[in-house]
Structures are given as structure tokens and as C-alpha cells.
Amino acid sequence: MKKQIDEIKKINELIQKRKTGTPAELANKFNVSERKVKGIIKHMRDLGCPIHYNVIKKSYEYTKQGVFKLGFEEDRSESIVNAVFKALRNENIIS
């Protein structure tokens, strides 16, 4: 599972840079079959990634601006808000 996640992360980085190359070239970069690469891309699309293959640039690319995140990320919004309020109180801006 970790290998698959690492492949997705690396492919995401290449897509963001528009440097995947053709499906065959991308498969060579990961030492996997072209079919597997296309399966990974399909899986990413199923997860909501707006991926398009640009025939002219010969690279996959995202059709929208955004960030692909994979994994757990702690919600820190409440702790950030509390830190801002504490700083404002320390500066006597609010009471």
C-alpha cells in the first residue's frame, strides 16, 4: 500500500510540473507497465483529480488549480484561532 501511495504522490508532483511525459515515458520512470500508469491516473480521477492528457505538451496536467492531498491532516484551525486571540489579548487589542 505504501508503494502505491508513493507512486500517486510522485505522479501528482510530475503532473503539477507538467513533466509526466507520455504514458509510456511515465511508465518507464516508475518501472511499471503503461497499463498500470493509466490505472493510477484513473484512480486519481476517481478521487476527484481533474487530470487531462495534453497531446501537444505530451504530459498529463490538471485542468483546475488545486492541491491533491493524500493522507490524514489534523484540523488545526481551532488552535490557530486561539493563538491569534491570545496574541491580541497580550497586545491589549482585545479583552
CATH number for 46 = 1.10.10.10
* pLDDT for the residue 34: 96
Residues 57-76: what's their mean pLDDT?
Answer: 82
In a domain, 94, yes or no: no
User: Tens digit of pLDDT for each residue in 32-50?
Assistant: 999 999 999 999 999 889 9
In a domain, 83, yes or no: no
In a domain, 56, yes or no: yes
Question: CB count, 10 Å around CB of 59?
Answer: 19
What is the extent of the structural domain holding 15? 2-64
Domain count, the chain: 1
In a domain, 75, yes or no: no
* pLDDT for the residue 71: 64
Helix orientation angle between 34-46 and 2-17, rounded to the nearest 10 degrees: 80
Q: Is the pLDDT of residue 88 over 90?
A: no
Question: CB count, 10 Å around CB of 39?
Answer: 12
